[in-house]
Amino acid sequence: MTDLAQQGSRDMTMAHPKSRYQSAEFSARLRARYAAEQRFRVYGIAAVSIAAIMLVVLLASIVSKGYTAFWQNEIRLTVTLDAAELDPQGTRDPKVLAQGNYMKLIRDALAARFPEVTSRTDKRQLGEILSNGAPFVLQKMVMADPALIGKSVPVWFLASDDVDQLEKGYIDRKLPEAQRRVNDLQIKALDGLRQDGSLRAGFNTTLFTAGDSREPEQAGIWGAIVGSFLTLVVTMGLSVPIGIAAAVYMEEFAPKNRWTDLIEVNINNLAAVPSIIYGLLGLAVFLNFFGMPRSAPVVGGVVLALMTLPVIIIASRVALKAVPPSIREAALGVGASPLQAVMHHVLPLAMPGILTGTIIGMARALGETAPLLMIGMIAFIVDIPNSFTSSATVLPVQIFMWSDSPERAFTERTSAAIMVLLGFLIVMNGLAVYLRKKFERRW
């Protein structure tokens, strides 16, 4: 029986030879392929993890340096609004009130609060705990309510940037006096103010309501935000209709020949041109040739529109291509003209993709700095722009300028401005994702 079984097995092996997929060589290749796929997955996870860690480190660094800029220290003084210094004639004329000696009133208030300080040098150092803008605060208050003249009123003034940094812990009190920007006399005065509740830290409204300033405690980003808004309005007004119209023509009506192929290749190449090149173009054409105003949102908007156009055209063409040909054929089949088929059926269905590309293009324009530096939007602008031709700057350029300032207080304001800019970019990209998800059509 045993011989018969072995003979039967040999016969079966000869009748059904082992498949190549069961060979040892194939098994080895299969194991190597699985190992390569596993390594590729590990490499991908490692790359994503490293990128996520770097992003977290970057955000943590920005937030840790910038969150303190959202509050500002203030000092309260009781100021006697002496009529002899502000309005000797009692006319209450705004021009007379604007020329009042407000600085002397503040010095008198400090002298009354700290009578032990008698020398001229100490009085001058004591006055440095207040911001240089303190007289303007008093002036604005008096001009808003002239009835205050002759009364003693408590007024909260911004502390100087050195005092603000000391209270936030960026200046070490334990250092020798010669190594500190705040001397012992000023620290003693601040301790006295804190004890009677005349030193407080509040939300820094100046950061969101003021324009740029040489003094960190008076510097704000409102002027840059308004400048960015005006610039983006010009950019959107030019790039969106022109970009969508160009995409519709290229995708739906343009003949397919070498000229349209050449234009298409150039549009794709323009999307990869460094943004500084557009700045040089704006400098040469719009400023030097056409004589348009420097540092104006209208020029910045035109330059950014040129930079954004290729992005919008490419995104719009992709969205138009995604609409099934059956939509066009059905519209033409019921008698619609090609223009009616595109405007009434194809374009509305492609609009979610077009809007997504447009918002992403606008987000890129909002964060651009290099082309705007070339057309003079790096100028020091204190006033809030009120028109498209006013001198203005934009938020990325404001960040660039603050980052180059030597004062320590500008470091935290730079990080705070970056946080605000990131917030705008996150909102715009989130809006693009929302529109795509809400109006996306699957065929």
Q: What DSSP element (H or E) covers 27?
A: helix 24-66
Give the pLDDT of residue 9.
52
Do 416 and 219 contact (CB within 8 A), yes or no?
no
Q: Which two tokens stand for residue 298?
A: 């209208």
Do 162 and 183 contact (CB within 8 A), yes or no?
no
Give the pLDDT of residue 352.
86
| Per-residue pLDDT reduced to its tens digit, 295-354 | 899 999 999 999 999 999 999 999 999 999 999 999 999 999 999 999 999 999 998 889
Give the pLDDT of residue 157.
95
Give the pLDDT of residue 1.
44
Q: Which residue has the tokens 């209270």?
A: 167
Give the pLDDT of residue 89.
87
Whole-angstrom distance, CA of residue 287 vs CA of residue 292: 5
Do 417 and 221 contact (CB within 8 A), yes or no?
yes
Low-confidence ranges of the chain (pLDDT < 70): 1-18, 442-443
Give the pLDDT of residue 7.
58
Whole-angstrom distance, CA of residue 299 vs CA of residue 390: 11
Q: What torsion do the CA atoms of 322, 323, 324, 329 make, to the nearest 10 degrees?
A: -150
Q: What DSSP element (H or E) covers 199?
A: strand 199-203
Give the pLDDT of residue 48.
96
Give the pLDDT of residue 18.
62
- Residue 200: burial class (beta carbons within 10 Å; 0-12, 13-18, 19+): middle
Q: Cβ contacts of residue 215 below 8 Å, gap of 6+?
A: 131, 132, 133, 161
